[in-house]
Amino acid sequence: MIRAFRVAALGALVAAGIHLAALAVPAFGTAAYSPSYPAWRHVVFVTINLTLAWLFVRRPAWFVWAFAVLTAQVIYSHGGAALASWQRDGRIRWIDAVALVAVPLALGLLVADSRTRSRRPGVT
């Protein structure tokens, strides 16, 4: 399972890179995100994703709850964007599809890991 969390950490680094690229290359930002997506939000998610990369490796006990909140935010924002894109254009942007699959999957891994750790004495 440790390998899965390393992959999740790598995914968080990739997400940070995507947000950085959206800031640095406006054409990419417009293609990957809504044209109204503010620059400050990219900065916030670079910070969040870099923090996630570190936390996926460490996995403190409280992390599963914090990530559950983030998962709800991702489902709301990327899910809403995917629905709007589907209704408007009949297709879903790749960034929304990846987020809507990867983030809940990572939450599932965290929940399973948390349950496994809670059953072992002396492991936090």
Tokens of 70: 């983030």
User: Which H/E stretch holds residue 49?
Assistant: helix 39-58
Amino acid, single-letter form, for residue 72: A
Question: What gap in Å lies between CA 33 and CA 43, rounded to an integer?
Answer: 14
Residue 122 scores a pLDDT above 70: no
Q: What is the pLDDT of residues 20-52, one digit of tens each?
A: 999 999 899 988 888 888 999 999 999 999 999
Supply the pLDDT for residue 13: 98
Amino acid, single-letter form, for residue 24: A
Distances (CA, A) of 7 to 4, 26, 29: 5, 28, 24
- Its pTM stands at 0.88
Q: What is the pLDDT of residues 76-115, one digit of tens each?
A: 999 999 999 999 999 999 999 999 999 999 999 999 999 9
Q: CA quadruple 112, 79, 91, 36: dihedral positive or negative?
A: negative
